[in-house]
């Protein structure tokens, strides 16, 4: 889970300024974990990218259970993050919002948005130029497999294309890399 992964990656809380990005923020509970661990410095920021729609996946009627879970998520996000002025919501899809972040500025990225292999791959490709040297990308749900939708396919494709530009830190249900 995110809490354990952050503790493995960052043994101590970070007091230096950090720029972090979370793709897929849902109701902000993961955002709080990231902010509390990595964004203690007054100049730190956590950009949360999410459309915060009331639907899990647009135009997919087979996932009505998840649509119910997502209903009201925007209100819950604001309620959960209201005491963290360093959490900045970029409301929209990752394809739209990643471009708003400057290149070579991010210290940590957490990718937990659309779990389709195609979108996870696009998120990784789009976030890469934004990452600083020695920064970390943490992919959630590496082993996700529902209805033969496998997040790992997109992540593995990305990793094969940047083979010499990263160091694998761990690969379990979550996968973490350090950008060289």
Output the CA–CA distances (angstroms, integers) from residue 81 to 85, 86, 98, 120, 121, in the order listed. 8, 9, 21, 25, 28
Rounded Cα distance, 175 and 5, in Å? 9
Instruction: Please tell me the predicted confidence (pLDDT) of residue 74.
Output: 93
Instruction: Please tell me the predicted confidence (pLDDT) of residue 53.
Output: 85
Query: Tens of pLDDT along the chain (180 residues)?
Result: 999 999 999 998 889 999 999 999 999 999 999 999 999 999 999 999 999 987 665 554 455 656 677 788 999 999 999 999 999 999 999 999 999 999 999 999 999 999 999 999 999 999 999 999 999 999 999 999 888 889 999 999 999 999 999 999 999 999 999 999
Instruction: Please tell me the predicted confidence (pLDDT) of residue 72.
Output: 86
Instruction: Please tell me the predicted confidence (pLDDT) of residue 148.
Output: 83
Q: What is the largest CA-CA distance in the chain?
A: 45
Rounded Cα distance, 165 and 177, in Å? 10
Read off the tokens for 107. 């210290």
Cβ within 8 Å of residue 42, ≥6 positions away: 86
Instruction: Please tell me the predicted confidence (pLDDT) of residue 63.
Output: 55
Domains and CATH numbers, the chain: 2-179 (3.40.50.150)
Instruction: Please tell me the predicted confidence (pLDDT) of residue 61.
Output: 47
DSSP β-ladder status, 145-146 and 131-139: unpaired
> Does residue 24 sit in helix, strand or coil?
coil
Does the reported pTM lie above 0.75?
A: yes
Rounded Cα distance, 177 and 69, in Å? 30
Instruction: Please tell me the predicted confidence (pLDDT) of residue 170.
Output: 98
Helix (H), strand (E) at residue 175: strand 175-179
Nearest C-alpha neighbor of 3 from the set 24, 30, 28: 30
């Amino acid at each position: 889970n995110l809490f354990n992964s952050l503790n493995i990656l960052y043994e101590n809380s970070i007091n230096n300024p950090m720029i972090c990005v979370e793709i897929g923020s849902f109701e902000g509970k993961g955002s709080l974990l990231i902010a509390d661990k990595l964004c203690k410095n007054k100049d730190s920021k956590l950009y949360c990218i999410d459309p915060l729609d009331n639907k899990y996946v647009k135009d997919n009627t087979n996932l009505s259970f998840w649509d119910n879970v997502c209903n009201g998520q925007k209100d819950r996000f604001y309620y959960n993050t209201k005491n963290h002025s360093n959490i900045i919501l970029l409301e929209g899809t990752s394809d739209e919002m990643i471009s708003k972040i400057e290149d070579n500025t991010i210290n940590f990225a957490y990718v937990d948005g659309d779990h389709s292999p195609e979108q996870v791959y696009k998120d990784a490709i789009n976030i890469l130029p934004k990452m600083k040297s020695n920064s970390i990308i943490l992919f959630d749900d590496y082993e996700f497999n529902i209805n033969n939708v496998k997040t790992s396919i997109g992540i593995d494709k990305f990793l094969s294309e940047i083979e010499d530009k990263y160091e694998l830190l761990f690969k379990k249900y979550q996968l973490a890399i350090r950008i060289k």
